[in-house]
Structure 1
Amino acid sequence: MSGDTRERIMEAARLTVQDLGYGGLSFRELAKDVGIKSASIHYYFPTKGELGEAIMQRYIDRYERYLDEILNDTIDSTTMMRRYTDVFRDTLLNGNRLCLAGMLAAERNDLPAEVRTEVVRWGEMNERWIARVLAPGEDAPPEDIRRRAKAVFAAVSGAQMIAHGRDDVGLYDEVVSAYRESGLIP
């Protein structure tokens, strides 16, 4: 039961942060959402920073497993990148939410060090994965592939941010399509 409570807390916290940001995360409100006392949250997560770190670690681990599945199940880079961009699109379709790390990155200056560390880890993990997808089709030095991977990650994250700000997933589709047509995204 305690593992279940911890998971429920983390899931409710993730959704709250994706919707309201780290600043909108309140143990009191979170306790109401989960149906427990605020002190119970402190039992599992003594500080807001520890909770933020835990939800980011869980988010990264789940997403990394999904990305590995894409690499193992998909033959061509175009399909892999389509599945990658679909994840960001699906997040928008879930209540016009942002990627958890994207939302936290926007609040970087107000985050505890342990949460900032996980936000950086998220970006680096995405860039490494994109570079792995791009590398087989590229006749370019590794550093150029890494730079392009960073550009792809920034482009997809930025497209999500713009679409979120305008509450228009169609805008996300339009921007990602333009990146595909330009050749930035396979």
Structure 2
Amino acid sequence: MSTRVTIMDVAAEAVRNSGYNGFSLDQIARDVGIQKSSIFYHFSSKTELVAAIFRRYSNDIFAFLDQTTIKEARGGDRLMAYLLESRKLLEEGKSICMSIALNIDQENLHAEIIDDLAVFHETNIKWLIEAFELGMRDGSILEEGDPEEKAHAFLALVDGAQLMARSHKNVAIYDTATALARSRISL
């Protein structure tokens, strides 16, 4: 594995565990086992590093959304896959979705990262709206209503459940918080 990728992996874990303000390049260098100056060979600043890891993270999540759309024919199954993937991001309550971690510290972020966060949010909402629309048509979602409202509420629920599970270091809190949403999906 290249040093650049190792730096990105360690920094991504640091952001998901501690947020933008919760890590330093000094700590990343120590964790990677390199001099801090070596980070600057690959990234000109903390901002550039975080932008790179968030773009990589976004691409991974967007690939998950695309794969789930192909793999799951029913809207409810797509939502269930989303809930399960979001749960995996918790890593037993030690971590959260990178977009949540960065949004918490948004006042300290460069405009480029804030723009990337907006695209990430919009992409997830659009995908969720489509999943709710499909689920209402195919009967796999057991309630009616506006798919856009449902998508926003669903994402807020998932993000809030992740925050609470991480703050208590207890993934069961995520499961409890998302139980009602899961109960409205017909299997």
Q: Percent identity?
A: 31
Is 1:180 matched up with 2:182? Answer: yes
1:35 offset after TM fit, Å? 1.8
Match of 1:164 among 163, 166, 169: 166
| Distance in 2, Cα, partners of 1:10 & 1:117 | 20
TM-score, scaled to structure 2: 0.88
SS in 2 for 1:167: coil
| Distance in 2, Cα, partners of 1:131 & 1:171 | 25
Match of 1:21 among 16, 19, 22: 19
SS in 1 for 2:95: coil
Q: Return the letter of the residue paired with 1:176.
A: T
| Distance in 1, Cα, partners of 2:7 & 2:88 | 22
Name segments (4+ residues, structure 1) moved above 6 Å: none
Within 5 Å, which residues of 2 pair with 1:15-94? 15-94=13-92
Instruction: State the partner residue of 2:143.
Output: none
Mark the CA change 1:35 to 1:14 in structure 2 (over 3 Å): closer, same or farther. same
Structure number having the greater helix percentage: 1
Per-residue CA deviations over 1:105-137 (Å, capped at 9, x if unaligned) read 111112121221222222111111111211223
On the 8 A contact 1:98/1:161 being kept in 2, the answer is yes
Mark the CA change 1:88 to 1:77 in structure 2 (over 3 Å): closer, same or farther. same
Structure 1: stretches of 5+ with no match in the other structure: none
On the 8 A contact 2:125/2:152 being kept in 1, the answer is yes
RMSD: 1.9
Instruction: State the partner residue of 1:147.
Output: 149
| Distance in 2, Cα, partners of 1:129 & 1:6 | 31
The alignment covers a number of residue pairs equal to 179
| Distance in 2, Cα, partners of 1:159 & 1:76 | 24
On the 8 A contact 2:164/2:174 being kept in 1, the answer is yes
On the 8 A contact 1:134/1:145 being kept in 2, the answer is yes
Q: Return the letter of the residue paired with 2:166.
A: H
TM-score, scaled to structure 1: 0.88
Instruction: State the partner residue of 2:133.
Output: 135
| Distance in 1, Cα, partners of 2:28 & 2:93 | 18
Q: Which piece of structure 1 moves more, 99-108 or 30-39?
A: 30-39
| Distance in 1, Cα, partners of 2:127 & 2:38 | 37
